[in-house]
Amino acid sequence: MTDDPFDPFDDALALVNGVFGPPRAPSGRGDRSGEDVWRAGPAARQDPRGTGDPRPQPPPGRNRPGRPAAAGATAPAQRDTGPGGPLPAKRPSPGGRTAPGRTGAAPAADHRVRRDPDWDTARDLAHHTFRPLLPVPRTLDRVLGHTLARPLTALTDLPAFDTSAMDGWAVAGPGPWRLDEGDRVLAGRPAARPLTDGRAVPIATGARIPEGATAVLRSEHGRPGRGHLHGPGPEPGTDIRPRGQECRTGAELLPAGSVLTPAALGLAAAAGYDELTVHPRPRAEVLILGDELLHRGLPHDGRIRDALGPMTGPWLTSLGADVLVTRRLGDDAEALFEAVATTRADLVVTTGGTASGPVDHVHPTLHRLGAELLVHGVAVRPGHPMLLARLPGGVPLIGLPGNPLAAVSGLLTLAAPLLRALSGRPAPEDRWARLTDPPRPHPRSTRLVPVGILEDGTARPLSYAGPAMLRGIAAASALAVVPAGAEDAPPGHVRILELPRA
Ligand SMILES: Nc1nc2c(c(=O)[nH]1)N[C@H]1C(S)=C(S)[C@@H](COP(=O)(O)OP(=O)(O)OC[C@H]3O[C@@H](n4cnc5c(N)ncnc54)[C@H](O)[C@@H]3O)O[C@H]1N2
Ligand code: MOO
């Protein structure tokens, strides 16, 4: 990594759109849709209705979560909260087990913990081990940033009828035309009387073309007077948007897995939808660990400012999560245990405490909870001690290392693919760039290096990229993925991970 503070490339930073290859699936910022799915507290783990299903039953008035569905599947959808009252009170279970959630882990063929898998394997595990959150139907005003669980197919032809593209006159045949001034056709009105050859009628943009009309003459091209309209005869079809020009009923407009952007909401409305079936944005809880952390003012007496609290939530938001809360727990093992055991999030993210120091409580807490450790360290620098676990009940937990750039590495290595999985989105496509100045590869680990993207599309490694630093990444537009390898084979073209923007 270029830790050299005199690195001449440090300030030469430019971003060019499109340097990362073909455009990505659209991304959107999320709304806060609130608590939409009932989650049981651990105390509700019995089978009060005698259904034989050990999963908790919802209180009266709430619909019960179904089983997790495979990506794109059309499992029975959950309803949003009805008038069912507040969520069950949050309390730790005697056994410290987390409640089953609206997410679930796919039946893993291999339950062994992966110790230090290579970087691609770790990302793959994060994407493939967990299933999407259950699809829910939601009205259009509540789905921004959520993911389509089913393809968006047109419920109507678009346009639904032949439409005037301009203000002017609908004309039938060549001019001049007899003008029926009284019969003007406005948008949103029922069909006008049919036009016979040689006649014209005033028409507005968006209005239905009368039967018999052959073209629209724009208002600036026609001269009306004495009951007649004069002007150049437009080619047949001019300024008419024919029915079905954009799509026919049943055409697929967006595939399942698309993130609902503002434009997608508009398209869905135009295509006739009142509500959509979506994988909701996963709800995340962030737990910041470390007694040394200050939350205001200057560092003093060996204490430092918490850099991960302000960063992790927004980063998760930009990766597609709804962050319920960021909690600062110090190095209190009991507080960590209780927070994890009682979480109501779909994903728990901790920062710090992943290593084996005297107050590194993440691993012991997972052990005490009976969590399944899926990834224990990743062969990546920085970020090596990151971890991924499945809590009892199926909720995933990501442990980010405390060194700030190492935490960023964990966000992009584990949280990004995992959030895509929970949202029913495919793994991200690879993007590539050429490095101006290839950093030395690590012999056994992938290196993630903050880079600026120059105008010609090349990527330039930035300074101040040590594991404990944020200066480089804050100025970067991407992280370059430098594969492990021998020093005599410096990477030229490398994969690039785009960083979220504000
Ligand atoms: N004996 C070993 N020690 C360490 C190893 C190792 O392999 N063997 N790995 C090192 C690496 S690599 C990393 S990364 C860190 C990870 O440690 P933890 O996840 O346990 O994190 P902490 O010990 O709590 O903190 C590490 C470092 O980061 C600072 N920190 C923590 N949280 C924040 C925050 N919210 N904002 C700013 N800075 C934070 C903390 O003060 C420490 O300086 O372990 C190495 N050790
Ligand atoms: O891998 Mo640690 O994450 O370098 O500081």
> How many structural domains compose the chain?
3
Domain of 219, CATH number, reads 2.170.190.11
Task: Output the CA 383–ligand 2 centroid distance in Å.
Answer: 4
> What's 331's domain CATH number?
3.40.980.10
- Phi, psi angle pair for 410, to nearest 5°: -65, -35
Cβ within 8 Å of residue 226, ≥6 positions away: none
Q: Determine whether the shortest distance from the Cβ of 290 to ligand 1 is under 6 A.
A: yes
> Minimal CA–CA distance to 441: which of 409, 406, 483?
483
Taking the centre of ligand 2 as the mean of its atom positions, its distance from the CA of residue 384, in whole angstroms, is 5
pLDDT confidence band for 130 (50 / 70 / 90): very high
Same domain, yes or no, for 406 and 288? yes
Phi, psi of 414 (to 5 degrees): -110, -45
> What is the complex's ipTM, to 2 decimals?
0.98
Say yes or no: 436 and 407 in one domain.
Answer: no
Is ligand 1 within 6 A of the CB of residue 404?
Answer: yes
Among candidate residues 183, 208, 241, the one where a domain is terminated: 241
Question: Which atom of ligand 2 is closest in space to residue 406's alpha carbon?
Answer: 3
In this structure, are 379 and 455 located in the same domain?
no
**pLDDT value, residue 501:** 76
Q: In this structure, are 455 and 416 located in the same domain? A: no
Alpha helices in 256-373 (DSSP H): 262-270, 308-318, 333-341, 362-369
Q: Is residue 11 part of a domain?
A: yes
- Residue 150 resides in a domain: no
Do 416 and 319 fall into the same domain?
yes
Q: How many angstroms separate the alpha carbon of residue 330 from the centre of ligand 1?
A: 14
Mark whether 287 and 403 lie in a shared domain: yes
Q: Are residues 299 and 227 in the same domain?
A: no
Least Cα distance to 213 among 167, 160, 157, 164 occurs for 164
**Cα 106 versus chain centre, distance:** 21
Same domain, 291 and 414: yes
Q: What is the pLDDT of residue 183?
A: 77
Which residues sit with their C-beta closer than 6 Å to ligand 2?
Answer: 381-384, 401, 403, 406, 467
56's CB contacts (< 8 A; 6+ apart) are 40, 41, 44, 45, 46, 99, 100
Give the ligand at the shortest distance from the Cα of 309.
1
**Nearest by Cα to 481 from 470, 467, 492, 468:** 492
Mean pLDDT over the full length of the chain: 81
CA 90 to the chain's CA centroid? 28
Check residue 485 and give its pLDDT.
87
Closest residue (by CA) to atom 5 of ligand 2? 467
CA distance 499 to 452: 11
Residue 262 lies in a domain: no
Mean pLDDT comparison of 41-50, 177-186, 370-379, highest-scoring range: 370-379
334 and 300 together in one domain: yes
For residue 179, list its beta bridge partners: 200
| Domain boundaries, position 291 | 283-422
How would you classify the pairing of strands 114-115 and 372-376?
parallel
298 and 371: one domain?
yes
DSSP classification of residue 43: G
Question: Could you tell me if 443 and 415 lie in one domain?
Answer: no
pLDDT in tens, 322-348: 999 999 999 999 999 999 999 999 999
Q: How far apart are CA 171 and CA 215, in angstroms?
A: 6
Of 186, 149, 142, 139, the closest CA to residue 164 belongs to 186
Asked if 230 and 291 sit in the same domain, the reply is: no
Given 377, 398, 422, the domain boundary residue is 422
Residue 30 reports pLDDT greater than 70: no
Asked whether the beta carbons of 128 and 106 are under 8 A apart, the reply is yes
Nearest CA residue ID for atom 4, ligand 2:
382
* Domain edge (last residue) among 394, 422, 450: 422
